[in-house]
Amino acid sequence: MAKPSPSLYSISKTFVWFALVSLLLLGSLIAIVLLDHHRDWKNWQKKFIALKLEKTEKELKAADEKLDKKKIQDLRLEIARTESDLKAHQSERAARRKAAAALEPRLARAKARAQDLKQFQDSYKYFFEEYRVLGDRRAADFEKKLAEIAPRLTEAKADLEDLEKESEAKKAALEAFAQKEKDLQKALDQILQEKTRVEKKIANVKPSLAKDILNAPMLDFLHPSLQIQQIALDGLEDDYHFAKTQKVDRCTTCHLAIDQKGFEDAPQPFRTHPKMDLYLGAASPHPVEKFGCTVCHSGNGHSVSFITASHTPHDEAQAKEWVKKYHWREIEKWDAKMLPIQHVQAACAKCHRSVVEVPQADKLNRGRRLAARYGCFNCHKISGFEDRWKAGPDLRRVGSKVDREWVIRWLQNPRDFRSSTRMPQIFHLSNTQSPDEKNRDDAAIEAIAVYLMKNSETVELSVPPAIGNAEKGETFVKQLGCLGCHSLPGIKGGDAAAELSGLGSKVKPEWLYAWLKNPRHYSPNTRMPNLRLSDEEAADITAYLLSNCNDPFEKSAAPKARPEAVDQMLLDSMQGTMRHADAQKMLAGMTDEEKLEALGKKSIAHQGCFACHAIKGFEDQKPIGAELSNESRKDIHQFDFGFVDIEHSRRAFIAQKLRDPRGYDKGKVKAYYEKLRMPQFHLSDEEIESLTTFVLSLTDESMPLEMQKRPDLREAGVEKGRLLVSKLNCNACHALDGKTGALRALTEDPGAAPPILDGEGAKVREKWLHEFLKNPTPIRPWLTYRMPTFGLSDEETKTLVEYFAYLAHENISYKGAEVPETSPEKIEAGKKLFGQLQCAKCHEVNADSAAMGASFLAPDLTLAKKRLKPEWVKKWIEDPQTLQEGTMMPTFFADGQTPITDVLGGDAKEQIEAIRDYLYRYEAPDKTKGETREAKIPIANQAA
């Protein structure tokens, strides 16, 4: 055999390789174990232990300082003394112990004997009963045995008891020596209790060799002290597309103190949750065992690493900080990213559905309000928000209000007319900047104006009876309550309705006069209520409002449509449904005005104007916006970021879309009618953030029913009412449902402010409220603010009545409470009290009371029997302050004591009832006096 080739078959070389590779293998295996062992979360837990140790040691120090050192020393001395005493009696103690021990075997024997006998007795009893029933002869035997054993058992038991007594006595004698020491020790323990507790806690937390061994690599499967913490949530599921798995949140692995008080100032991730009363705590509405973390925060609950848990920074600065600290990067492919903190309220809507406002979620609520304000719901279908009203005015009779030129100027850029307008800018935006597109925009604008004018119904307008006085008009505007909804140039009011600026450059006096007299005459569905103005008032207000003009706007150009642009646009739009030649033929047969009208119709349909405004010819048209019902879960690839260089996330897309709605057209080649159509609302950054939160809250994610806030019948009624209240803007004047009325805040004298309506449901009768809402009548004649007539339907009125009743936890009865039974004596007493307590001083409006000032005036009591619930009246007289804090109504019966002792035997309860009974039979003192009253108080014939 030839010698093997040394290059291929060298055994010694192979050994070298073998050694090398073995070492590498060993090294790589060690690397596996170490890599697997060293996890971020373990480091966090170690850091937390150090933190906790530090904190507990401080606690220990505090506990130590609290101790009474001298007393402890005394006790210790005492213990030492007793111990030496004990030593002196050592031999005696040993003897006694021996005696006690000697008893033990006897005791055991006696116990066994008693038990044995009992066994026999039970057995005999069974056989005796059995044989007796069967009629067996042996029954007699067992009867005999039973009789024999009974005394033996009694005797054995007596023996046992004697022995037990003896044994106990001996033991007590032995222990008597040590008793004193025990008592002393107990006292000492009691003093040291707190300290011992903290010391035990420290021992638990403190690192030790045993713990290190249990946490060592390869051994940590047994019982490590560093462990992944997790909350498994029953009923909550992660949705992995057609496959659902139980939700498991491991966030607490690092966020170790999230539900422990006392770590409010600790560095993250160890900080306590900032809202413990609302979240996590067992007594809070969202206990951590039931809700976990990712239900609200989103993210990957299974993960225990900073990056894969999908933490999301709230801004650039934080992102940079995280990159530096944690090597953070976005996990691009994971869909359920954590909600950045500024949008976290979006998650509330998952469970809090079918409520107008989510409690404590101010940003989300603001987003919802803004969405209603700007008419988002009009263009975009969003499930759960279908019942919202149109944001813009009715344009079916617009021809009587403004002229064509005004519409053209207005549509150029609504903000040129009024900077505060809600009307978004639709034309001349970033994606229509070329000369051709500008021409097309101008053509569309004039065409829309032409269409609106041509399709406007005529409405009868009447000329004001006399030329109004603008100064008086200003007073009326301030005094009647217009400011609840409207602001004026230089006068701060509400923002629910349009700012009343530049009206002189907009509308004709006839129209404004007719509108003020009855808004529904012009627009049957308007939210503007009727203030029942007299002709004179309406004329004065008209004069005042028209005095404000916008000259630059009036002088601005109203560009004419270029015929070639109109033709081209019509051709473009017609070609969608017909051939080019046919379209041209059709176009040739149209007059210029017809062309404009046709283009106007096309432009309104294209831009979706009809979604916010009622326009003739568009009654059944579907709005143009995309449905947003599940926007927060829409696939990220379905968002077209175009050439806009921003982060590819939903929230970034939404925010950018709101900031520059046409921006995603940047750099794209698109025909005029292919371009993005969402108009520019000129939103502030804060508004954008709130609206983004709102859009991120839109999800069809199914939550278990028991997790959701499901309203019962009453709550549903309240929510229905809340929606209507927000539509009618009741809060503009009234304090109600946790909101302070805006107009109340503007009024200096609280007595002259619109009334507070908290508890109204408990106060007034449903029937009266129903009639009042339909047709308000004066209650507080001194108020200048006027409760408007909203022209509510029966259904709406019912909704409001139910809302007030349910809000006050009342049951609804249109029949009303019975007028309480009473006796003539009681009424007489009531009358007497009424006089003595001087009720009429405030409750009767006349020249004297008016002189006291509005704060001292009180509602007309002749209305009481129709208006108030008897039960409420009683409570009101008894303690007005609990029902309405800060009311001027005096508390006559403080602590159930009456100031008047000579009526009804000084019984406060009886007296209150008497006053109430008198009220229910009370008539106005003098009819003629009422008329003079009207003459003195300017607007007394109007409801307040």
Partner 1 sequence: MLESFKNFLNSVSSPVTIFTSAVLVFALFVTFPRQATSKPAGLAVLLLVLVFFGIGLTDEHFRTIVSTPDNVPIVGLIFLFGYFTWYAMRKAVINDRRIEKGEPTVEQAETNEKVLVFPYLIFIEFVVALAYAVMLVLWSIFLKAPLEEPANPTVSPNPSKAPWYFLGLQEMLVYFDPWIAGVLLPTFIILGLCAIPYLDRDPAGSGYYSFKGRKPVIIVYLFGFWILWILLILTGTFLRGPNWNFFGPFEVWDVHKVVPLVNVNLSELIFIKWLGVGLPKLWFLREAPGILTVLAYLVIPPAILAKTVFKNVFKKLGAVRYSILVMLLLVMVALPIKMYLRWAFNLKYLVAIPEFFFNI
Residues contributing to the site for partner 1 (CB under 8 A): 1-5, 9, 11, 14, 17-18, 21-22, 24-25, 28-29, 31-32, 35, 240-243, 308, 331, 333-335, 635, 637
How would DSSP label each residue in 747-773?
Answer: -SSGGGSPPB-TTHHHHB-HHHHHHHH
Q: Which CB sits closer to partner 1, 24 or 578?
A: 24
Question: To the nearest whole angstrom, how small is the minimum distance from the Cβ of residue 331 to partner 1?
Answer: 6
Question: To the nearest whole angstrom, how small is the minimum distance from the Cβ of residue 330 to partner 1?
Answer: 12
Q: What backbone torsions phi and psi does residue 404 show, to the nearest 5 degrees?
A: -55, -45
Q: Which CB sits closer to partner 1, 14 or 932?
A: 14
Question: To the nearest whole angstrom, how small is the minimum distance from the Cβ of residue 673 to partner 1?
Answer: 20
Using CA atoms, how far apart are residues 660 and 651, in angstroms rounded to an integer? 14
Using CA atoms, how far apart are residues 804 and 812, in angstroms rounded to an integer? 10
- Residue 177 Cα distances to 77, 85, 86, 87, 166, angstroms: 17, 9, 7, 10, 18
Question: To the nearest whole angstrom, how small is the minimum distance from the Cβ of residue 5 to partner 1?
Answer: 5
Q: Which CB sits closer to partner 1, 28 or 268?
A: 28
Question: To the nearest whole angstrom, how small is the minimum distance from the Cβ of residue 606 to partner 1?
Answer: 24
Would you state the structure tokens that stand for residue 439, as one six-digit string? 């021409």
Question: To the nearest whole angstrom, how small is the minimum distance from the Cβ of residue 25 to partner 1?
Answer: 5
Amino acid identity for residue 390 in this structure: K
Q: What backbone torsions phi and psi does residue 238 show, to the nearest 5 degrees?
A: -90, 135
Q: Which CB sits closer to partner 1, 241 or 555?
A: 241
- Residue 420 Cα distances to 374, 542, 561, angstroms: 12, 21, 28
Contact 621, 610 (CB under 8 A): yes
Q: Which CB sits closer to partner 1, 28 or 84?
A: 28
Contact 290, 233 (CB under 8 A): yes
Contact 442, 603 (CB under 8 A): no
Q: Which CB sits closer to partner 1, 334 or 920?
A: 334
Other CB atoms within 10 A of residue 146 CB: 16
Question: To the nearest whole angstrom, how small is the minimum distance from the Cβ of residue 542 to partner 1?
Answer: 57
Q: Which CB sits closer to partner 1, 591 or 638?
A: 638
Q: Which CB sits closer to partner 1, 41 or 124?
A: 41
Q: Which CB sits closer to partner 1, 11 or 851?
A: 11
Q: Which CB sits closer to partner 1, 33 or 62?
A: 33
Question: To the nearest whole angstrom, how small is the minimum distance from the Cβ of residue 9 to partner 1?
Answer: 5
Question: To the nearest whole angstrom, how small is the minimum distance from the Cβ of residue 328 to partner 1?
Answer: 15
Q: What backbone torsions phi and psi does residue 425 show, to the nearest 5 degrees?
A: -85, 130
Question: To the nearest whole angstrom, how small is the minimum distance from the Cβ of residue 648 to partner 1?
Answer: 11
Contact 431, 665 (CB under 8 A): yes
Using CA atoms, how far apart are residues 873 and 915, in angstroms rounded to an integer? 9
Question: To the nearest whole angstrom, how small is the minimum distance from the Cβ of residue 2 to partner 1?
Answer: 5
Q: What backbone torsions phi and psi does residue 736 show, to the nearest 5 degrees?
A: -165, 140
Question: To the nearest whole angstrom, how small is the minimum distance from the Cβ of residue 635 to partner 1?
Answer: 6
Using CA atoms, how far apart are residues 827 and 359, in angstroms rounded to an integer? 47
Q: Which CB sits closer to partner 1, 25 or 894?
A: 25
Q: Which CB sits closer to partner 1, 240 or 814?
A: 240
Q: Which CB sits closer to partner 1, 329 or 909?
A: 329
Position of tokens 């006349």? 846
List b or e across 566-577, with b for residues whose CB sees 16 or more CB atoms inside 10 angstroms. bbbbbeebbeee
How would DSSP label each residue in 45-113?
Answer: HHHHHHHHHHHHHHHHHHHHHHS-HHHHHHHHHHHHHHHHHHHHTHHHHHHHHHHHHHHHHHHHHHHHH
Q: How far is CA 396 from the centre of its chain?
A: 39
Contact 294, 301 (CB under 8 A): yes
Question: To the nearest whole angstrom, how small is the minimum distance from the Cβ of residue 305 to partner 1?
Answer: 10
Contact 721, 803 (CB under 8 A): yes
- For 101: left if phi > 0, alpha if psi spans -120 to 50, otherwise beta; the answer is alpha
Using CA atoms, how far apart are residues 732 and 723, in angstroms rounded to an integer? 14
Using CA atoms, how far apart are residues 245 and 248, in angstroms rounded to an integer? 9
Query: Helix, strand, or coil here: 510?
Result: helix
Q: Which CB sits closer to partner 1, 9 or 126?
A: 9
Question: To the nearest whole angstrom, how small is the minimum distance from the Cβ of residue 636 to partner 1?
Answer: 10
Q: Which CB sits closer to partner 1, 311 or 418?
A: 311
Question: To the nearest whole angstrom, how small is the minimum distance from the Cβ of residue 656 to partner 1?
Answer: 18
Strand partners, 280: 287
Q: Which CB sits closer to partner 1, 34 or 140?
A: 34
* Peptide bond before residue 359 is cis, with ω within 30 degrees of 0: no
Using CA atoms, how far apart are residues 764 and 266, in angstroms rounded to an integer? 53
Q: Which CB sits closer to partner 1, 13 or 579?
A: 13
**H-helix or E-strand spanning residue 693:** helix 685-696
Contact 515, 526 (CB under 8 A): no
List b or e across 905-922, with b for residues whose CB sees 16 or more CB atoms inside 10 angstroms. eeebebbbbbbbbbbbeb
Q: Which CB sits closer to partner 1, 11 or 581?
A: 11
Question: To the nearest whole angstrom, how small is the minimum distance from the Cβ of residue 333 to partner 1?
Answer: 5
CA angle 667-671-673, nearest 5°?
A: 120
Using CA atoms, how far apart are residues 153 and 122, in angstroms rounded to an integer? 11
Question: To the nearest whole angstrom, how small is the minimum distance from the Cβ of residue 637 to partner 1?
Answer: 7
